[in-house]
Homo-oligomer: A and B are copies of this chain.
Amino acid sequence: MTGEAEKKQPAGSDAPASPPTPGTRRPGGRTARTRAAVRDAVLTGLTELGYPGLTVEYVAERSRVHKTTLYRRWGDVEGLVADALDLAGEDSWLPPDTGSLEGDLRALAREVVSSFTGTAAAASVSAMIAAGFRSERAAAALRAYYTERFARCEAIVERAVRRGELAAGRDAGIDAGALVRAVPAPLLCRLFVTREPIDDAVADQAAAAALAAARAGVFTRGRPAGTAAGRPEQAD
C-alpha cells in the first residue's frame, strides 16, 4: 500500500508561481520536480533523524532546494512532513483484482506484508507513522492518506457485491470502509504497536478473518454489529 516512489518527470518549461498546493498545477514542471526532491529529503531525514530531529536546514541541504523556498512553500517542518504524505497519496496504486473477494482480501493482506519487508519505502512509512505521535499535523496527514487509500480499496467490496458474493440491498448496505480496514489492521498493529513479526501466514489469517466476518454480516449496516445473518437479533 505504500505505492511506488514517484518517478522524476522530464524537464519542461518553467512553471508559473506556485499555487497553494505545491506541485499540483502541472505535473512534469520544475515545481513538481522540486516537490519530489523535497519529499525524498524529508523521508530520508525522518528515517535517519526521526521527526524531532528533522530540520529545514537538513531538507535544504539534502534536496538542494533553498531554505527560503522551503519556508515560503511549506512553512516549516510540519508542513514538509504533511506534504510528503499528501504526495505519497498521489500515486496510481489500486487494490488487487483477483476475481473473488477471498482472493482480493488475501492479496491485499500479502501486499501489506511485502510492502513492509525491508525496503526504503517501508522505512519511510514507518517514519511517517512515528511522526504522527509528535505532530498533530502529521497525524491529520496520516489520517487523510489512509482514508483515501482505504477508499480505493472499497472497489474490492463493490466487485464482491456485483458478483453476488456479499448481500447488499435496500435494508442491508455494506460498511465497505470497515471491511477493508479489517484486513491490514492486525498486520499494522503487530508491526507498529505490539512489535511482533508478520508473514504470509498472519496475512492469510487476517484476510480469512475479515472474509468470515463479512459473510456473517458483521459489516452490514442496518442491523446491530454482532448479529449474524439469519439469527434473530438479541438484546444486549
Contact = CB atoms under 8 A, between A and B. Distances in A.
Given A133-B50, A225-B201, A143 B195 contact: yes
B195 A218 contact: no
Contacts of A213: 208-210, 212-213
A226 B224 CA distance: 25
A28 to B, nearest CB: 31
As for how many copies of this chain the complex holds, the number is 2
A134 B123 CA distance: 12
Nearest to A213: B209
A102 B134 contact: no
A147 B126 CA distance: 22
Contacts of A210: 209, 213
Given A209-B210, A216-B216, 13 more contacts: A50-B52, A102-B226, A106-B226, A130-B134, A139-B195, A142-B193, A146-B194, A147-B194, A147-B196, A181-B190, A204-B226, A208-B218, A210-B213
